[in-house]
Structure formats: structure tokens, C-alpha cells
Structure 1
Amino acid sequence: MKFSQMIRNENQDLFQEIFEHPFVKGLGEGHVPSSSIAHYIKADYEYLNAFMQIYGTAISKSAERKDIQYFNEQVNFVLNSEIHPHKNLCEVIGIRYEDLQGFPLPPTADHYVKHMLYHAHQGGVGEIIAALLPCPWTYLEIGEYLMKQYQPSEDHPFYPWISFYAEGEMEQLTQHLCERLDYFSAQASQAEQRRMKDAFRKSCQLELKFWEMAYTCEEWPGERSRVR
């Protein structure tokens, strides 16, 4: 069995919890609190900025041009394609995308970013991929799950979001990262493979926590009482 499929199987429990999370189910049912959506966009915008920076670190550690080219292409994908599902959510709640940018990361998102940065600076390209991979992989499977479970029509409020992640580029992105992870894991020591597994599982755990963070509008202790 390929390394990528093995660690996916090992984390089925977390994938299933993500599918069953009320925010994710709400996307399928067409009803998510506006405050939760706004909180999600604020955090995800800054999270994706960090994601692009980590691609940059991966480029600096890449020995092959095909990896440099790929990570560079993925920066472009985040900048120019992944804004579309954000804009769908903004349209649903009636808030301009620009008005939800530039906010501090909530605790969970802050921890997630620092987790990825740690592996980016301490590990090689394979370890970086292991930390990054749960983001596109869980979103791909969320999109596929919601399509199958709810069969949304084009007039569904979140149809653009669901269809974006269920089809096309996200599947190609995930497949390529799996292939490269399999390549690097085959050359890795047992200790390096353990670090890859750990990075992957923690990212899966933090993906689940990210949805909970958004749904509950998580903030740092004391922030609600501060005058903005």
C-alpha cells in the first residue's frame, strides 16, 4: 500500500468527524450562521496567506525543478482560484470580501499555521507536504461528500463552494501531492516517516478544529471584552 493511502486510512476517524461537523453539514443543508461564515473567512484568508509562504519554503528546499514549478503554480492557485469559494460565502452573508481581510488569527488557526511552519523549517520537502496535504485532501473529500449526500442543484446557496472543492483542480492538486509524498517517503528513514505521519495527523486534527473554531466564533481569551 502506498504511504499516502496508508496515512489516509489511519486518519479515517478524523475525516469522518469533519464530514459530520455542523458547519460542514450546514454547507450541505444550505444553512450556516452568518457570524460563523464571517469568522471562517477572516481566519481562512490569513491561513491561506501562510499556506503560500510555506509553499515558498518548500521551493527553497526543493532539489528538482518540477517541484519548484509545482509549488509556484500552487501559489498562483491560492491567489487566483481559491478566492472564488470565499466570494460565494461572502455573497451568501452579504459582506464584501475585502471587509473580512486583515484580521488576527484565532487561537486554533494560529496554532495550525505555527504547526505547519514548524515542519516547514525543521523538515524536508516530504515532511512539508505531509503537513500541507490534509488541507486540500479534506476539502476535496468534503466537496465529494456534500455532492453525494445532498446532491445540491445550481440554485443551492453554497453550490459554487461545494462544486469548487468536489471537482477539477482540487482533485489534481491532492493527487499530485500524494504522489510526491509517496516519492519522498520511499526514500525516508523510519524516523522521517514517523515525523511525516505525525505532521499529517496533527494537520487533520487541526482541520477538524478549524471548522469548530469557525462555527463557535472562537476568539482569544479576553478579546470579547476589549473595545474594538
Structure 2
Amino acid sequence: MSSLDVSNLKVRGLSQCGPTADFTPVNSYQGEFADVLDREDAVALLDGRCTGTLIEASAGPVVITAGHCVGLGDRSLLVFNFEDNPDGEQLVTEGTVIEQSLEPDYALIRLDVLPAVMPVLLTTQASERLAIIQHARGKPKAIAEGRYLDACDRQVYYVDLDTLVGSSGAGILTRQGYLLGIHTDGDCDEKGGGANRGWTAEAIVEASEYLQSTDIAER
């Protein structure tokens, strides 16, 4: 599968923080979030233009992504293990969007075929640094890391953590590998100012009929 030309797509989540784009292919990464890579198998390229993550839920695992990436009832195409030097078989499957919202900006997708991977757990507890495993510009899976800044009005803010078009819907992961929220918007710049942000898992669970309060816990 080749990377997608996203130049004409109206997808939020574009923002490089600082003068360089600091993305590392997941199978080449050796940084401080090495343990987080145990969760990378749950990350998928969604419709060639966004990122989704398979999460654990009491009603059954679902893929979570940004609401502005899909519409309610849509049939989406997901590709798991689309990465450089893949460490497993690529799974291409479809799923149905069973929930979609723009505030909070999230969607849930029930897959036709579940991949043989461990779903990611939700959390309300931030760590001082965060990571996002993503398909920036529709390219093979990569990881970027940065500093947790703050949480306000049901959104989480982070700095020095690069995202681009295609990163929308990617999970914001703590150092322990739990999903704190999903990336939806970019607002930092190449001079190092501003911050990128996403909606918290807590806000999403509160809005969701599918997800339950027991699906998120203090960890």
C-alpha cells in the first residue's frame, strides 16, 4: 500500500511543533516510550486519511478515532500493521461507524473482523510526557513524543509532540501505554509556539452510549 496524497483533504490535526518533524517509524524506535510500543499493533490506518486505535470496552472492543474523520453509519476501511519492516501480517478489514460526534470529537467503529492484538485500555491519569502512534500523511505507522501541558474543558494539551494531516483520531498515550484521549487538532508552529490538543477519554466516555464508566479507571 502506498501513502495517500492528502493535499486536498480537509482534515484537522495538522501541526508540526518546532523546526523539525520528529517522527520515528515504530519498528525503529528506541526512545523512552519503548514499552508503549506494545500497544502499536492496535493502531490502524483509517480510510487512508486518519488514524484509529482498537480499545477495550465492556461491550466489546471497538476502534476509536476522531468524529470529523467519518460519518455515522459509514463503512470504513482499516489497515492494521501498515508499517516499515512490519512485525506481523497486515490485516485489512472494514467496520461500521456506530457512534459519531463533533463535540466531543470522536467516533467508534465496530470491526467486521477483529485483529489478533491486545486492545488499549483507557485512563484518566496523565503522565508528564505523552506519545502518539499515528499514520501522519497516510504514511506507515510512526511515533512522536512530547510534553503534557494541561487539561481544560474536557481537552488535553501537549507540546513538542508532532502531528500532521492523517494523525487525526490517533490515541494520546501515557508513559504506561494507556489511552488518555484522541488527537483532533493541531495548533503549534514550527517556531515552537502553541500546543496540539485532543479530547479526553473521560469526556468521550461521558458522551458515549456504547462506552461505560467501568471502561475507564484511575490507573
Query: Normalized per residue, which structure has more helix?
Result: 1
Same fold (TM over 0.5): no
Higher RCO structure (Cα 8 Å, ≥6 apart): 1
Given the two structures, how large is their TM-score scaled by the length of structure 2?
Answer: 0.29
Query: Normalized per residue, which structure has more strand?
Result: 2
Pick the structure with greater CA Rg. 1
